[in-house]
Amino acid sequence: MTEAERILASGLIPKDYLKPEEKCGFYISEERKKLFAVLLEMLYQYDWVCKKYGLTYFMIYGSLLGAVRHKGFIPWDDDLDVCMPREDYEKFIKLQSEFKEPLFLQTPYTDKNYFYTPARIRNSNTCAAVELFRHMDYNQGIWFSIFPLDRWADDWGEDRYLEIRKLVMHNSTFMRSKNPDLDPKNAARVAEWRKQNRDPLRDYEEIQRLASACRDPNTKYVMTAVITMGQYKEKLLPAQCFSSATELDFESIKVSAPVGYRELLTRWYGDFMQFPPVEQRGLDHADAHFDADISYKDYLKKQGVVH
């Protein structure tokens, strides 16, 4: 029984959920529907754990957009993102025992070669192998990401953000360091990283320390500071938008969203109810191989990658 078949049998999704269909001018294949089913089960379990322990979370970025605009997944999306206030995040990442196989709560403390900055929940019986990092030995099942939401003092935060960015780049270099097929630019980057004799766990912990340094509950801004894509000012988010949570429909379940979700979506996407051009749809993780029917171990073995 595949993961999608198991989830279908559990009653979490309707009987016809895996049937291909067209939404918003985009064809959603059976393979993508299976991916959605796997993600939805992880989100359902995550939501259950948060409620059990009284932890706050918010849908964020494209996942929040999907909840508002589509009442579920954006048809051309392939992952899920949530954030948690730093205090709740630090409690949550200690709850790995709440996720039973095939689900797995992934941090550098539960998976020794994993050094992305967010925590992730993975389904170990599936595959979401990123081409550049697939030689690194860590769980590469279908994922959804959980980011800490940190208080941010704008008058002294930019230098801290830039230092986090450097450390994130170091750990991203570590993640590709076992790839034997790097292009010259990446090979030089790895060689320089090795010369510095860096410790990825120490860098990861410094990232978390820098991101969480401000604990003032009255700051005007918050930030998912461990995500360092984009310019500094673009990452600052009004704290008032996260002052409380509201509930939104997401596929067959209810999820938690920031009360100021309309302001946030406007900041990120402008007229967020408009769809992007057709040629820009479905490109978020074009470098990853998604397969809900086989485990990442079986896929990598077929590719000649043995961990």
pLDDT in tens, 183-205: 999 999 999 999 999 999 999 99
Beta bridge partners of 82: 59, 146
The pLDDT tens digits of the residues spanning 28-54 come to: 999 999 999 999 999 999 999 999 999
- Structure confidence at residue 283 (pLDDT): 56
Average pLDDT, the chain: 94
Query: CA torsion angle for 36, 37, 43, 48 (degrees, to 10)?
Result: 160
**Omega of the bond prior to 102 within 30 degrees of 0, cis?**
yes
CA distance 221 to 239: 5
The pLDDT tens digits of the residues spanning 236-286 come to: 999 999 999 999 999 999 999 999 999 999 999 999 899 888 777 765 676
Domain boundaries, the chain: 3-150+229-302
CATH 3.30.460 is right for the domain spanning 3-150+229-302: yes
Q: How confident is the model at residue 226 (pLDDT cuts 50, 70, 90)?
A: very high
Q: How confident is the model at residue 134 (pLDDT cuts 50, 70, 90)?
A: very high
- Structure confidence at residue 282 (pLDDT): 66
Q: How confident is the model at residue 87 (pLDDT cuts 50, 70, 90)?
A: very high
Residue 103 has pLDDT above 80, yes or no: yes
The pLDDT tens digits of the residues spanning 287-300 come to: 889 999 999 999 99
